Structure formats: C-alpha cells, structure tokens
Structure 1
Amino acid sequence: MLLLNFLLIAVLTVCVITDLKNRKIYNKVIFPALIIALLLNAIFYGWSGISSSLLGFVVGLGILLIPYLLGGMGAGDVKLLALIGAIHGITFVLTTAVYMALIGAVIGLWMLLFRKGLFRRIKALFYTILGLRHGINPNIDFHNRIAFPYGVAIAGGAFLAFFLKGVVFL
C-alpha cells in the first residue's frame, strides 16, 4: 500500500510540473506508472487487486472521456485520471473527481475574472443573452476560450482525496 501511495504522489508531482511548464502530461510518465500500478495491485491484492485497478481505470477514463471528445480536455488529463483510478480504485477516483471539479471551477472562475478582457467578455455575454431572447442565433466564438492546465485540478483533487481519506464534504 505504501508503494502505491508513493507512486500516486510521484506521478502527480511530475504531471503537475510538466502540465504547468509545458501544458502536457506525458505518456512516458503515465504508461509505465499504469503498468507499475497493475503489477503492485496484483502483488498486494491478487486477482481482486487487478480487477479493482482495471475498474478504477475504466471509471477514471469514463469521467473525462466526454469532455475530451467535445474538445474541452486534453488526452493527458483523461489518462491521468484513469491512472489515478488504476492506482487506488473506483472509490478513490470518484472522490478525486468531485474534488477535481470543485478545484477546476475555482481555477476557471479565477482565470475568467482576472484575465485581461473581462469587460469585453461580460459585454459579449450580455449581447448573447439579449440576442437569444429576441430569437437571434448568436455567433459564439468557441476558439476564444480560456485554457488552463487541468492536470493541476486533477492532482489537487487526488491530493485532497488522499489526505482527507476519501471524505467528500458536500
């Protein structure tokens, strides 16, 4: 169990650094860690460990798959959450996802409020709502969206789930 915790913390640390620095979560970090997670779960817990690890992987992958397919998430973010599920299982990855969403919302709101051009965005939102009210189909520019390294929110969610022992405060 200690080795799995060390693996989780090491992977999260490396992924946060690379995501902040390069906006990438590298496969050369994710895939070896996935193999190690499967092996450690097999060694420590046998077949139930492998099945728990695989189920956690699938659930973690599924949580961010739709946002990825819609273009709102990078593939590295999806694989990182899937890896978290493979390391500690389904309950842990679900708890991580709750905290991840909360942290991501706070980061997104912060960036929205303090990024240059706030008044232009408020004005565009006002005209969009006004246009919708009068039956005008707005031409929304989806390419001018705010992007941030979501791996930070994922890692923050995993750290909270780890240190709070899976307790979700809602």
Structure 2
Amino acid sequence: MAAWAFWSCLPFLAAALLTDIRSMRIPNWITLPLLVAGLIVQGMMNGRQGFLISICGAGTGFLLLLIMHLLGAVGAGDVKLFAGIGAWTGALFTLQVTVYSVLIGAVIGWIIVFSRRETGRRIRGIISRSAGFLMFRDHRLLRRRSDDLLKFPFMLAVVPGFICAYLYL
C-alpha cells in the first residue's frame, strides 16, 4: 500500500469519525465518494492491475464488515466505509485494519463495561446464552435485545486501527 493511499483516506476517516461520534451513523456522502474515488484513482495510477487490486480490496472490506454487521457488531455505514478503505488500500491492508480495529474496539468495550460496573451482569449473560446455545435448547438465546448491546462509535477503534496498520507496514 502506498503512502498516498493512506493520506488520501484520512480526510474521509476524519469526517466519518466526527459524524459517528455525533450521530452514531456514517452517511453515504462520506462512504460512497471514498469508494468511487478509490476505484478511479487506483485505476488511473496503476492501470488495470490497480483497478483489480482496488476491486479486491473493496470486496474484502465489504465482506468482512458485512459478516460483523449481520452479527450485530457494526452498522451498515461501517460496512460501506471499509469497502471504501479497501478500494484505496487493497485487500491485505484492509484485513489488517479490520483486525486492529476489532482488537481496539474490544479494549474500548471492556473499558466501558468496567467503568459502568456492568461486568458481572454481562459475563453472566454471555455464559447463560452460550450454555443455552451449546445445549441446543434455544437458539434465540444468542439474539440480544437491542438495549442489551454495548454501543459506541466504532470509528473510535477504526481510526487508531487504520494508523496502527499503516505503522506496522
């Protein structure tokens, strides 16, 4: 991944961070230009090979975050944002950003849980749902009520994850 691709993504990520903190949403006016610009610029700078790398990166980011979205971990804006990141940076870098973001997100989540003193209740809930699922008693136990989910702007983990992935390279 070229340094120019990293720096080109940062303004979009900054805008996504601000809107995610403010409204817990990442609007299409951020994600779609990120995706389209990544495809066009990669195609123009690196020809057909760059365009194919861009398509593969967009697909990787989209599919990885789509799985997380279907599990209820992230919103649809995050899915589209990672497709855009992949369009600029390629599949491998997008995979690295995803891993770092999930790890940082887990740390943020635990900090929130410990600061709210919800640890015991959450751990009991996880054990209860897991035991019910493993005993094949009720698969609906794994589905959580929306008010039971721990929510925070995922961009708080994505921006540091993006920077960590870049620094790792």
Please say whether Structure 1 and Structure 2 have the same fold, judged by a TM-score greater than 0.5: yes
Q: Which runs of 4+ in 1 moved over 3 A?
A: 116-142
TM-score by length of 2: 0.82
Runs of 5+ unmatched residues, structure 1: 166-170
Query: Would the aligned equivalents of 2:34 and 2:85 in 1 still touch at CA under 8 Å?
Result: no
CA gap of 1:6–1:139, structure 2 versus 1, over 3 A, is closer
1:123-166 C-alpha deviation (Å, 9 max, x unpaired): 6567778989999867975331111111221222111112232x
Range moving further from structure 2, 115-124 or 80-89: 115-124
Instruction: State the secondary structure of the residue aligned to 2:86.
Output: helix
| Cross-structure match for 2:153 | 149
2:39 aligns with 38
Cα separation, partners in 2 of 1:110 and 1:17, compared to 1, 3 Å: same
- The match for 2:76 is 75
By how many angstroms is 1:24 displaced?
A: 0.9
Range 133-142 or range 84-93, more displaced: 133-142
| Aligned mates of 2:134, 2:39 — CA distance in 1 | 53
Q: Contact conserved, 1:57 with 1:85, CA < 8 A, in 2?
A: yes
Deviation at 1:122?
A: 4.9
Query: Which structure has the greater CA radius of gyration?
Result: 1
Q: Is the aligned partner of 1:163 residue 2:140?
A: no
> Within 5 A, what are the aligned runs for 1:96-115?
96-115=97-116
Matched residue SS, 2:22: helix
Structure with the largest fraction of helix: 2
Distance change in 2, residues 1:133/1:21 (3 Å): closer
Contact in 1 for aligned 2:130/2:142 (Cα 8 Å)? no
Deviation (angstroms), 1:108: 1.3
Partner of 1:52: 53
Decide whether aligned partners of structure 1 residues 109 and 47 sit closer, same or farther in structure 2, where only a CA change above 3 A counts.
same
Amino acid of the structure 1 residue aligned with 2:145: F
Gaps of 5+ in 2: none
Sequence identity (%): 32
Count of residue correspondences: 165
CA distance, structure 1, for counterparts of residue 5 and residue 135 of structure 2: 57
Deviations 1:3-52 (A, max 9, x none): 53332111111111111111111110111121111111111100011000
